[in-house]
């Protein structure tokens, strides 16, 4: 089974070209021997993300992210290994073989995930059947009241939960286990009784970019003490921080046309209302503050984001952190001003698509939005408020990316407050620098490299990338103290014996993503540009590194031998060890 799967993976990778796959997610520019782009995994203005077509791997020289075509799809689609394999296999018309390999970690995890996705899919069909059963009068009335046409209902898969009991009974009759039903998130266990988590609500299926139902949103249809909108809880297939509502239809839109910008709204109805009004480039954050994961998800579709939250001050103020996160990920962010008290759905109903389009046309850059929100907090007719406003405003203007933008913004503050431009400019020069970078994730562990680590990486990389400076030194003659380097050295030597081409992309199969070993492989790939292996200086450095590794190996052997001599009580054996020590010391001196 393992051999069959390995053969399948080899065939799959042979049929794929990482450049073609990467081009589906971002624009690549051919430069030298490789393709380049701004890294999709960290914010940068100068491209340092390299896609190596001959060796079929990617590496970012900025953040160090590396991987093969499978890892790239995992990262870009936010899916696991097997889902990435399935997705790529479909592209080249291959069938993924069944495997019972323990190395994939997974038989039970895969069974569980498949079961939960099947349960959620059947729940969606169940809710849809309820809506069309003639028993969902309240749900139909709400849909008609909100003027949602039947075509849109079908596109978004809206459904109806009639009560708390029918769904669990239906799922049990389908043969699903009680444990899997609860783990799906669609059903809760209350006093050892199974109940529909969205009992009595209008149902909005939440569908991921792979067209899989991963959760449900629900809306109550009458006044209640419960929350008006509610999502099913997070599960192994649903993490709301990594999910955007309507991402599935946005992905389909991208396949038919270039997406200039994406509109982000707060909820399901805003999304549906804008979509049916012709604004198909819309997603919703489902009521959560925007996260880095959502920002990176958006970046796969566009560089430009329009935030269109509710027009009340709470709706506009509450998500400032989310806006900073979007900007920190390199997205161009603008905020759509809406009439006070209205949400996008209200604007569509009252003013139509043209009215909402005017709101989009009036979208303001993030820094202008910050100043506008700040102005609402103060009464500029009062001297004390005006001074506080100016003090805060110049701090915001200090974050502008260019002197011309700062000048323009200062002139606006001058016109609003009557304070001279010269005074404002002096205040600006003395204002503290405020970083806009939002650090949501802990910093990566610092690489504390030893002399041995650095020497070993350079030597291994020289062989891995076929540098001429390594031709006269057999790799098997070098002792590597690092286990990762030993594994790579054995791989290189095996390829040399068979006279086969060394494929760096194959190494990603040797180490598990997220481990220290994988991180060490990524550090070696920092040499993949090849420039550091050229010239006499590189040749001398290679020789010095090989010599240093020999010295370190000899020192370790001498240290181990000293311990043996100190512990040995037999005189004859001590003499033999001492003779061996003398030989080692001569070797070390040479």
Query: What is the torsional sign of CA 328, 331, 337, 343?
Result: negative
Q: What is the pLDDT of residue 507?
A: 92
Nearest to 488 by CA among 513, 468, 458: 458
Tokens of 70: 């499978």
**Coil vs helix vs strand at 114:** helix
Is 438 a member of any domain? no
Shared domain for 42 and 130, answered yes or no, is no
Pairing label, strands 282-284, 262-265:
parallel
Provide the 8-state DSSP code for 433: P
Provide the 8-state DSSP code for 103: G
Is 443 a member of any domain? no
Instruction: Calculate the CA dihedral of residues 181, 185, 191, 192 and round it to 10 degrees.
Output: 10
Shared domain for 574 and 485, answered yes or no, is yes
Nearest to 458 by CA among 543, 554, 552: 543
Find the helix or strand (DSSP H, E) in which 335 lies.
strand 332-335
Q: b vs e for 138-149, b when ≥16 Cβ sit within 10 Å of the residue's Cβ?
A: ebbebbeeeebe
Is 120 a member of any domain? yes
φ, ψ dihedrals at 313, nearest 5°: -65, -30
Q: What is the pLDDT of residue 442?
A: 39
Q: b vs e for 278-315, b when ≥16 Cβ sit within 10 Å of the residue's Cβ?
A: ebbbbbbbbebebbbbbbbbbbbbbbbbbbbbbbeeeb
Shared domain for 73 and 98, answered yes or no, is yes
Last residue of one domain, picked from the residues 202, 237, 272:
237
Tokens of 3: 């051999």
Shared domain for 460 and 564, answered yes or no, is yes
Is 439 a member of any domain? no
Q: What is the pLDDT of residue 309?
A: 85
Is 436 a member of any domain? no
Domain interval for residue 394: 378-430
Last residue of one domain, picked from the residues 192, 222, 237:
237
- Region for residue 332 given its phi and psi (left: phi exceeds 0; alpha: psi -120 to 50; beta: otherwise): beta
Find the helix or strand (DSSP H, E) in which 171 lies.
helix 166-173
Nearest to 434 by CA among 391, 397, 402, 404: 397
582 neighbors 576 (Cβ within 8 angstroms): no
Tokens of 314: 């709470």
In Å, how far from its chain's centre is CA 232?
A: 22
Shared domain for 112 and 229, answered yes or no, is yes
**Coil vs helix vs strand at 202:** strand
Tally of domains in the chain = 5
pLDDT tens digits in sequence order for the chain, 590 residues long: 456 778 888 899 999 999 999 998 888 999 988 999 998 888 788 899 999 999 999 999 998 999 999 999 998 887 888 889 999 999 999 988 876 544 445 667 778 889 999 999 999 999 999 999 999 999 999 999 999 999 999 999 999 999 999 999 999 999 999 999 999 999 999 988 999 999 999 999 999 988 999 999 999 998 776 778 999 999 999 999 889 999 999 999 988 888 999 999 988 999 999 999 999 999 998 766 788 889 888 988 998 999 998 765 555 555 566 778 888 888 898 999 888 888 899 999 999 999 999 999 999 988 888 898 888 889 998 999 899 999 999 999 998 888 999 999 999 999 999 999 999 999 888 887 765 544 444 344 445 678 899 999 999 999 999 999 999 999 999 989 889 999 999 999 999 999 999 989 999 988 888 888 999 999 999 998 877 898 899 999 999 999 999 888 888 877 877 787 777 777 777 777 777 777 767 666 76
d(CA 105, CA 344): 45
Shared domain for 363 and 403, answered yes or no, is no
Quickly list DSSP for 205-217.
EEE-TTS-EEEEE
Shared domain for 47 and 129, answered yes or no, is no
φ, ψ dihedrals at 206, nearest 5°: -100, 120
**Coil vs helix vs strand at 358:** helix
Q: What is the pLDDT of residue 103?
A: 46
Q: How many of the other CB atoms lie within 10 Å of CB of 263?
A: 23
CATH number at residue 311: 3.40.1360.10
d(CA 92, CA 95): 9
In Å, how far from its chain's centre is CA 223?
A: 39
Is 442 a member of any domain? no
């Amino acid at each position: 089974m393992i051999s069959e799967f390995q053969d399948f993976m080899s065939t799959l990778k042979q049929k794929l070209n990482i450049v073609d796959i990467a081009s589906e997610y971002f624009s690549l520019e051919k430069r030298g021997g490789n393709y380049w782009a701004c890294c999709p995994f960290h914010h940068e203005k100068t491209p340092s993300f390299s896609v190596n077509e001959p060796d079929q791997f990617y590496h970012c020289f900025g953040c160090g992210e590396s991987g093969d075509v499978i890892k790239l799809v995992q990262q870009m689609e936010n899916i696991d290994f097997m889902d990435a394999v399935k997705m790529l296999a479909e592209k080249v018309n291959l069938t993924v073989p069944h495997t019972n390999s323990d190395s994939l970690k997974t038989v039970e995890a895969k069974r569980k995930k498949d079961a939960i996705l099947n349960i959620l899919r059947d729940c969606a069909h169940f809710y849809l059947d309820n809506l069309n059963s003639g028993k969902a009068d309240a749900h139909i009335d709400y849909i008609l009241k909100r003027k949602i046409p039947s075509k849109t209902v079908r596109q978004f898969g809206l459904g109806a939960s009639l009560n708390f009991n029918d769904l669990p009974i239906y799922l049990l009759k389908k043969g699903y286990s009680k444990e899997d039903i609860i783990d799906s998130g669609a059903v809760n266990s209350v006093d050892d009784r199974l109940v529909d988590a969205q009992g009595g609500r209008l149902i909005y299926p939440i569908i991921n970019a792979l067209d899989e139902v991963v959760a449900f949103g629900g809306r109550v249809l009458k006044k209640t003490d419960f929350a008006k909108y509610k999502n099913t809880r997070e599960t192994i297939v649903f993490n709301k921080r990594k999910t955007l509502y309507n991402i599935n239809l946005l992905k389909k839109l991208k396949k038919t046309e270039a997406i200039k910008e994406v509109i982000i709204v707060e909820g399901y109805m805003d999304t549906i209302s804008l979509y049916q009004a012709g604004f198909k480039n819309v997603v919703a954050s489902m009521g959560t503050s925007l996260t880095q994961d959502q920002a990176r998800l958006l970046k796969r579709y566009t560089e430009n984001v329009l935030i269109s939250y509710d027009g009340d001050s709470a709706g506009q103020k509450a998500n400032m952190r989310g806006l900073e996160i979007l900007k920190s990920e390199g997205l161009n962010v603008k905020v759509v001003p809406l009439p006070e008290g209205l949400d996008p759905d209200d604007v569509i109903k009252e003013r139509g698509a043209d009215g909402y389009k005017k709101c989009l046309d009036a979208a303001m850059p993030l820094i202008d939005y910050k100043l506008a929100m700040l102005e609402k907090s103060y009464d500029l007719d009062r001297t004390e408020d005006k001074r506080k406003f100016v003090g805060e405003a110049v701090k915001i203007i200090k974050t502008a990316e260019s002197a011309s933008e700062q000048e323009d913004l200062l002139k606006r503050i001058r016109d609003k407050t009557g304070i001279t431009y010269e005074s404002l400019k002096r205040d600006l020069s003395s204002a503290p620098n405020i970083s806009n970078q939002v650090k949501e994730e802990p910093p990566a562990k610092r690489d504390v490299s030893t002399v041995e680590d650095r020497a070993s990486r350079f030597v291994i990389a020289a062989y891995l990338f076929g540098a001429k400076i390594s031709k006269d030194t057999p790799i098997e003659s070098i002792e590597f103290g690092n286990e990762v380097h030993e594994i790579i050295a054995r791989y290189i030597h095996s390829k040399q014996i068979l006279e086969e081409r060394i494929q760096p992309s194959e190494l990603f199969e040797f180490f598990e993503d997220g481990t220290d070993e994988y991180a060490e492989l990524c550090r070696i790939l920092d040499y993949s540009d090849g420039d550091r292996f050229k010239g006499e200086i590189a040749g001398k450095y290679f020789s010095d590194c090989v010599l240093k590794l020999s010295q370190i190996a000899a020192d370790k052997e001498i240290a181990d031998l000293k311990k043996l001599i100190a512990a040995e009580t037999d005189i004859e054996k001590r003499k033999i060890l001492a003779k061996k020590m003398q030989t080692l010391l001569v070797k070390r001196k040479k």
